[in-house]
Amino acid sequence: MTTNASVPWPPALVGTPAVSVIESAIERRRLSHSLLLAGDDPEVLAAAGLALADRLLNRGSKEPAPYPPDRHPDCFLIRPSGKSRSISASAIRELIGQINVSSSVSPYKVVILHDADRMNPAAANILLKTLEEPPANTTILLLTSKPHALIPTIRSRVLHFRFPGMTASVPAEGWTEWISDYRLWLELLGHGMAPGKSASEGLFTLYGLIARFGTMLDKAAAQETTRRKALLPEGLEDDEIAAVEVEISVGLRLRMFAGIEEATREHALKLLAAGDSEARRPLIASTDALERAAGLLRVNLNESAALEDFLLASLRIWTRR
């Protein structure tokens, strides 16, 4: 069977076992009718969903379709809408009505459900019935960074693909310098802080990092929103666009915190390699603190407050060694 794809896999996923399994299953016509694509980066997940949809829509064709998958008449995209970023029962009912009719161009139909964990209970139960009895030649892709937020009955009826370690680089001006200064601050704490000048220096640096973080995030979010809006399909409702804007901001914050986690881990590993066996405890404690801060971000706490919570915890953790 021939598959002509014009949409590449995201660079972060090329050559991964998950992609190899998916490509092989498409070639053998053994791919499940319902897939769960999970990962940490919403943008990479969205790109993976489009790449997979492109391959499914072009199965058996001699030439790829003359339009991208997000504008393909047999590809149906569902996103959370409104400031609550939820997927309603009415949106799922409308989707089911669309996929239960004959395809227009391709012999196949594809559904891409962004942030599937944002379905409300009624929407999830309606989708569940379709997953139990899917329409012929239709593949449903559920994209989420929180797979365990889906109801268990949905998770049990889809094939899971987890894309680990795919956090993309942070598209923020000044991010490299910020992370560098954060590493220097950790080194300052690691030498121990006596009362007086060194203590005040560490505290001033902490609040300087917080202030720079907020300014950098606001600018990066505005630039990324402008870029992503230009790539969105035409005809999106205002509430859908608003939901995408929130997704961009949340995604950036989480990617920045992932970068902080990596820098913290590298700092601890450097100490361990130098024979500092006591570095293991603060590494674990700071990771727990960072997970708490990331959890606060997920419930829409201001990122400056979440970062302050983490940095103050780090100040206590690394200076008590």
CA distance 313 to 104: 57
Domains by residue range for the chain, with CATH:
11-163 (3.40.50.300), 175-319 (no CATH)
pLDDT of 232 strictly over 90: no
211-224 tens-digit pLDDT = 999 899 889 888 88
In three state form, how does the secondary structure of 94-127 look?
A: HHHHHHCCCCCCCCCEEEEECCHHHECHHHHHHH
| In the block, residue with structure tokens 């969903």 | 49
What integer pLDDT is reported at residue 164 of this predicted model?
61
CA distance 12 to 43: 11
Residues in contact with 278: Cβ distance below 8 Å, sequence separation at least 6, in sequence order: 321
CA distance 221 to 190: 33
Model confidence band, residue 158 (pLDDT cutoffs 50, 70, 90): very high
Which has the higher per-residue pLDDT, 81 or 199? Answer: 81
pLDDT of 209 strictly over 90: yes
CA distance 113 to 141: 6
pTM above 0.75, yes or no: no
Output the average pLDDT for the chain. Answer: 83
Nearest by Cα to 249 from 293, 218, 281, 291: 218
CA distance 149 to 145: 9
29: which DSSP letter?
Answer: T
**Is 43:145 a contact under the CB 8 Å cutoff?**
no
287-318 tens-digit pLDDT = 778 777 776 766 655 788 888 888 888 888 87
Three-class DSSP category at 141 = strand
CA distance 173 to 28: 45
Which has the higher per-residue pLDDT, 257 or 159? Answer: 159
**Is 143:113 a contact under the CB 8 Å cutoff?**
yes
What integer pLDDT is reported at residue 60 of this predicted model?
65
**What is the share, in percent, of the chain residues with pLDDT greater than 90?**
32
What integer pLDDT is reported at residue 299 of this predicted model?
60
276-288 tens-digit pLDDT = 777 777 877 887 7
What integer pLDDT is reported at residue 63 of this predicted model?
64
Model confidence band, residue 267 (pLDDT cutoffs 50, 70, 90): confident
Q: Which of 40-54, 119-133, 220-234 has the lowest mean pLDDT?
A: 220-234
